[in-house]
Amino acid sequence: MSAKIKDVAALAGVSIATVSRALGNGPVSADLRERVEQAVAQLGYRPNLAARRLRSQHSQTVGLLVSDIRNPFFTAVSRAVEDAAYRAGMRVILCNVDEDVKKEAMYLRLMQEERVCGVIFSPTGDTASRFRPDRFEFPVVMIDRAGPPGLTDAVVLDNKQAAQQLVEHLIGRGYRRIGGLFGNSSTTGAERAAGYEAALVAQGLPVAARFVPPNVDAAVAAVKSWLTEPDRPDALIASNGLLLQGTVRALMEAGMSIPGDVALAGFDNDVWTGLVGHGLTVIEQPVYDIGTLAMEMLLSRLENPSLAKRKMVLNGILLARGSTAAKQA
């Protein structure tokens, strides 16, 4: 068994209270502190976090629930959250919800049992709007996806504006039959679809939005069948990095050239998007900022629980690359 504080106290010849103070930041004479540290080193003592948390009623831990750990967007955000948490002396429990409502509920319950001091959370499906913050002891900051304003704090992209920008870019490059592929299980997908539609309607162009589960395989299947239909699009946009991957794969397997046969644009500046063909045009999200800001928002909420709920909206930037080169008549 590992050494306990009692053993350290005995070896150092002091009381356990003194050991506790020496390890924390209580007032201890240099002399005793020295002896305690010696004893700690000699025994390889490590405090038991369960005991510490139970007594101090403070977990120093935040939960981070991401929708899909395979999506580079979320790994980038999680690094930022982790860095920020670490700076603030907190730990992060990273949970992969896997776009599964049951896992989501399970992990939220776990967060309660862990008595985390807060949760950063990208809600699945309509949990975004149905979420009941009052049923949890801890404050929640939503990222990427958010419910109605005032529900919880949130850090999100201006999805509508970004999608609109993307479509306008395609229109400007001469494309007219622009299809949109969106995730069917997040507010993000819906908002991006709205921006897509608005841009097309403004120009009197036809709208063709399709909604699929947000993973690579679903996108491949959807795009493949789409391409066999009459009047196929001359351009496509995909509403996140995974759908974009699937779209590229489907186009390649169908022997289509980009942008010759179909132009392509999407979301998330994942590294590979610069490597495909002449590069894919994407909206780059400020991923690291999103994570950092979410953590800051959570910390300020912990300091001041009575503040009004805040929703921070960030803007993506358009990276125009070869996949949306001007259409050849």
Partner DNA sequence: ACGAATAATGTAATCGTTTTCAATACAAAC
Partner DNA sequence: GTTTGTATTGAAAACGATTACATTATTCGT
* Residues whose CB is less than 8 angstroms from the CB of residue 249 and which lie 6 or more positions away in sequence, other chains included: 216, 219, 220
Which of the listed partners (DNA, a copy of itself, none) does 32 bind, with a CB threshold of 5 to 8 Å by partner kind? DNA
Tokens of 15: 């009381």
CB of 77 to DNA, least distance (A): 31
Q: Taking contact as CB under 7 A, which single stretch among the options 1-9, 151-159, 248-256, 293-301 is the one that binds DNA? A: 1-9
* Residues whose CB is less than 8 angstroms from the CB of residue 286 and which lie 6 or more positions away in sequence, other chains included: 314, 316
Quote the CA–CA distance of 155 and 165 in Å, as a whole number.
20
DSSP 38: H
Strand order in the sheet with 208-212: 208-212, 178-183, 235-238, 263-267, 281-284, 317-319
Terminal-residue alpha carbon distance, the chain: 77
Stretch 30-89 residues interacting with a copy of itself (CB under 8 A): 44, 46-51, 53-54, 59, 69-70, 72, 75-76, 78-79, 82
CB of 109 to DNA, least distance (A): 13
Closer to a copy of itself by CB, 45 or 196: give it: 45
Give the Cβ contact number of residue 186 at 10 Å: 25
Q: What DSSP string describes 199-248?
A: HHHHTTPPPEEEEE-SSHHHHHHHHHHHHHSSS--SEEEESSHHHHHHHH
Q: Does 16 bind a copy of itself (CB under 8 A)?
A: no
CB of 61 to DNA, least distance (A): 15
Which of the listed partners (DNA, a copy of itself, none) does 231 bind, with a CB threshold of 5 to 8 Å by partner kind? none
Closer to a copy of itself by CB, 59 or 159: give it: 59
Q: Does 248 bind a copy of itself (CB under 8 A)?
A: yes
β-bridge mates for residue 142, sequence order? 121, 154
Q: Taking contact as CB under 8 A, which single stretch among the options 106-114, 121-129, 141-149, 164-172 is the one that binds a copy of itself? A: 106-114
Q: Does 27 bind DNA (CB under 7 A)?
A: yes
Closer to DNA by CB, 20 or 323: give it: 20
Which of the listed partners (DNA, a copy of itself, none) does 112 bind, with a CB threshold of 5 to 8 Å by partner kind? a copy of itself
Give the Cβ contact number of residue 116 at 10 Å: 22
Closer to a copy of itself by CB, 275 or 329: give it: 275
User: Backbone phi, then psi, for 219, in 5-degree steps?
Assistant: -70, -45
User: Dihedral of CA 48/50/56/58: which sign?
Assistant: positive
Question: Which of 38, 48, 82, 269: binder of DNA (CB under 7 A)?
Answer: 48
Q: Does 135 bind a copy of itself (CB under 8 A)?
A: yes
Question: Which of 8, 216, 293, 298: binder of a copy of itself (CB under 8 A)?
Answer: 216
* Nearest alpha-carbon partner for 252 in 213, 291, 215, 280: 280
Pairing of strands 235-238, 263-267: parallel
Q: Taking contact as CB under 7 A, which single stretch among the options 28-36, 88-96, 197-205, 250-258 is the one that binds DNA? A: 28-36
Q: Does 57 bind DNA (CB under 7 A)?
A: yes
Which of the listed partners (a copy of itself, DNA, none) does 20 bind, with a CB threshold of 5 to 8 Å by partner kind? DNA
Closer to DNA by CB, 57 or 228: give it: 57
* Nearest alpha-carbon partner for 289 in 76, 68, 145: 76
Stretch 114-173 residues interacting with DNA (CB under 7 A): none
CA 188 to chain centre: 12
**Rule CB under 8 A: which residues touch a copy of itself?**
1-2, 44, 46-51, 53-54, 59, 69-70, 72, 75-76, 78-79, 82, 91, 93-94, 96, 98, 109-110, 112-115, 135, 137, 216, 245, 248-249, 252, 270-272, 274-276
